[in-house]
Amino acid sequence: MNDELNSPQRAHSSSIIRHSSLPTLLTLGTRWTFVGGKGGVGKTTTAAALAISLADAGEEVLVLSVDPAHSLGDALGVALGSEPVDMPGVPRLRALEIDAAREQERFLGSHRRALLLLLERGTYLDREDIDSLVDLTLPGADEIAAVFRLLDLASASERHVVVDTAPTGHTLRLLDLPGVARGWLAALEAMEEKHRTVALGLVGAYRPDDAAALLGRLREELDELAAIFSDPERTRFVLVTNTEPVVLAETRRYEAALTERRIALAGIVVNRADAASLPPEAVGDGMVVVPRLPGEPRGPDGLRAFAASAGAGPGSEASTIDGPPELRAGNPFQPPLGRTLYVVGGKGGVGKSTVASALAVQLARRGGGRVLLLSVDPAGSLAEVLGVPVNAEARAVPGVEGLAAQQLEAESAWRSFQREYRAEAEQLFAGLMGGGGTAEADRRVVERLIYLAPPGIDELMTLVQVVELTEDRPYDAVVLDTAPAGHLLRLLELPAVALDWARAVLRMLLKYREVAGLGALAGRVLALTRDLRAVRELLQDPAATWLVAVALPESLSVAETRRLLSRLRGLGIAPGALLVNRALTQDGAVRGSAEILALRSLAEAVPFAGTTDESTGPVGPDALAAFASRWREIVPPKSS
């Protein structure tokens, strides 16, 4: 049967062999095992447990995280950085958390001279502008550089590599990075082509140098990376899910997306399954069931217990102890009315989509006017939560007067901007085409500058659309369901970076003013700079924007919530509240949890509240409204 699975046709099929235990997912002869799934399903725990199981079996293993919101070190119980360290208590296992920003710095440190040379001789920018552009550009270069580092680490030894990935939407973007990177590589190649045209025109000869050699090496490495991702002999995915309908639906979409990209699936781990919640679709070929365990598996022993429990059948619910005497449930918690933008953020899997949907229903029914519930998560789940179709066009939600829902498509908005930019660039140079090869080379350079936009600017376009909505006022309030914390933070940091990039492009266009004029192209970029400033101002205005951070009473969620709140304050964005999902029992008491106390200490001056622990997630407006009605403030006990 392993031979059958290893065949290309079988590897790309959604029907695969049954596995009896978690470690057997790794005994398939591949070098790379990517562990993916919706945020909060247990990807990091599964990746760490798989790596320890493989090392215990005698393999040399490297486990690493490429999630911007790292929690691998928290799961393993060790402090991790960007260099591999030996794992105490687990011979043959090394671990690290890849820092994409640091890897981009490393990449630029090695190739900066060649990149500067390409920009200097391929554009009319001066050296100061070029320095700025190199620091801001190459979309996906941070993540590409991180993956190149991953390749270097793997090639340095014969270790099996287990990769803890980011939540669904952004891991699929990571897998698509070779194609994205070819866009900015084409822009750099256009600059080298201009240099070649000028050299041939002036001296009749062109001699490739280090800059040209760099372009060749990068193209080869991107081709190799794409080949590794799609080679079932080298790479397979393990998907992690649980029994919640919203999560199972996303897992099915994830599996289809992997098949579309011709990436082989090793198996599916159904985490936290119990007898009452194990649906028929969660049992079958390729499925490994991990029962709901008491406590959180942390450190080598806890992770070994997690791996050993896989395939043992449904377990029992973890026991609940009385609430801590330091805290009690207080008054009903209601978000404020009158804000223009409501942002719901947090670690993957904490219930952001459910909270955002409940918040939107609550606002509409409390008289908040016309409300738009908007998802900017590439793997949005609003349709499953609301129980109605949600797509790229805003549609009314039945049963809630004044409420509409929409799934924004970042790539679509960015592709539209790119098409318009390229058309205007072509028009800008249309009158110069009789000027010879140099004019044509200049046109290609300006046209492809759009590919040098900062990483994530496609997602930033969704925030630009939000600003347009708030300015045009078709809605009184917009509720934003965001991507998981790491990518939300990158999105919130982007306006300042993208603003610098747009200004650099404007400066470059000014260099062409005497040759071609500026026309509509400069006007488009100038409009983008205005929109980016408006995004930044909206997010930093507490009278207009209210941000609620959602957490779970779990140690990994505590660590990530601490980082999220700290980074938000560093960006000048004031959190409006901290809401702990599943913090209350059905009768409204605070669950006994040291993690709830730890989260309370993070709330500082912002409201701190909790939601009830639902056996299944609320689906539909009425269930969401009932869910929101049970939100309570969590406060110290009254003085006796």
DSSP, res 638: P
DSSP, res 31: S
Instruction: Judge residue 274's burial from the number of C-beta atoms within 10 Å of its C-beta, 0-12 exposed, 13-18 middle, 19 or more buried.
Output: middle
Residue pair 347/485 in contact (Cβ under 8 Å)? The answer is: yes
Question: Quick one: residue 496, left, alpha or beta (phi over 0 = left, psi -120 to 50 = alpha)?
Answer: alpha
Instruction: Judge residue 430's burial from the number of C-beta atoms within 10 Å of its C-beta, 0-12 exposed, 13-18 middle, 19 or more buried.
Output: exposed
Three-state secondary-structure class, residue 616: coil
Question: Quick one: residue 29, left, alpha or beta (phi over 0 = left, psi -120 to 50 = alpha)?
Answer: left
The residue ranges of DSSP E strands in 233-318, in sequence order, are 235-241, 265-273, 287-291
Tokens of 459: 């997602």
Residue pair 607/333 in contact (Cβ under 8 Å)? The answer is: yes
Using DSSP bridges, classify how beta strands 287-291 and 265-273 pair: parallel, antiparallel or unpaired: parallel
- State the angle between helix axes of 210-229 and 100-122 in degrees (0 to 180), rounded to the nearest 10: 140
Residue pair 32/234 in contact (Cβ under 8 Å)? The answer is: yes
SS (H, E, C) 395-413: EECCCCCCEEEEECCHHHH
Residue pair 342/477 in contact (Cβ under 8 Å)? The answer is: yes
Residue pair 247/241 in contact (Cβ under 8 Å)? The answer is: yes
Q: What is the largest CA-CA distance in the chain?
A: 93
Three-state secondary-structure class, residue 475: coil
Residue pair 66/80 in contact (Cβ under 8 Å)? The answer is: no
Given 3, 67, 164, 587, which residue is catalytic?
67
Burial 147-172 (b: 16+ CB within 10 A, else e): bbbbbebbeeeebbbbbbbbbbbbbb
Beta bridge partners of 265: 237
CA atoms within 13 Å, Cβ hemisphere of 376? 30
Whether 164 sits among the annotated catalytic residues: the reply is no
Angle subtended at Cα 286 by Cα 281 and Cα 292, rounded to the nearest 5 degrees:
65
Residue pair 599/622 in contact (Cβ under 8 Å)? The answer is: no
Residue pair 36/240 in contact (Cβ under 8 Å)? The answer is: yes
Residue pair 309/45 in contact (Cβ under 8 Å)? The answer is: no
Instruction: Please state the φ and ψ torsions of residue 328, each to the nearest 5 degrees.
Output: -145, 160
- State the angle between helix axes of 485-511 and 168-175 in degrees (0 to 180), rounded to the nearest 10: 50
Tokens of 309: 């429990």
* Catalytic machinery residues: 67
